[in-house]
Amino acid sequence: MSQDSIAFDSILHLCQDQHRRIVLAVLAAEQRSLTLNDLTQTVLKYNHHSQLTEVSKDVLAEIRLSLYHVHIPKLASEGLVSYDTDRQLVEPTEQFEQVQPTVSTILDADPTLEVPLEL
């Protein structure tokens, strides 16, 4: 198995989850570092189709915790983002830029996402 197919398989695996697809899409659209709060609100907007004022604090906390404990660490372990826990800042890496065309193709094929996503 070549290194390229491993990378492609990893990208497919990372894109299996809706929250990670939203995070990748907004990072691709914004091309800058985003806070965990920004990402939480974006997932709320695009996955739950709700505004911040329309949901309970429990729903918001659940999204934030899943990003913090599951989704951001998975993206970081594959080298697509770096996460500064002190500042709660998620930053796309150079490796993300390299795989962005593949990620964009996957995101474009997702009928549940209207890309580009906006904060």
Q: What confidence score (pLDDT) does residue 52 get?
A: 72
Which is more confident, 39 or 113? 39
> What was the pLDDT predicted at 4?
52
Q: Which pLDDT does position 112 carry in this prediction? A: 83
In a domain, 116, yes or no: no
78-99 burial by CB neighbour count: b if 16+ within 10 A, else e? bebbbbeeeebebebbeebeeb
Please give the Cα distance from 4 to 25 (Å, whole number).
22
CATH code at position 75: 1.10.10
Q: What is the pLDDT of residue 50?
A: 72
Domain of residue 41 covers: 3-109
Tens digit of each residue's pLDDT (9 = 90 or more) over 63-95: 999 999 999 999 999 999 999 999 999 999 999
Residue 23 per-residue DSSP state: H
Residue 86 to residue 43: CA distance in whole angstroms: 21
Domains in the chain, number: 1
pLDDT one-digit tens code per residue, 34-66: 999 999 999 998 887 777 778 888 999 999 999
pLDDT of residue 95: 92
**Within a domain: residue 37?**
yes
Instruction: Tell whether 119 is covered by a domain.
Output: no
* Residue 118 domain flag: no
Contacts of 20 (CB under 8 A, 6+ apart): 14, 71, 74, 75
For position 7, what pLDDT does the model report? 81
Please give the model's pTM, rounded to 2 decimal places: 0.89
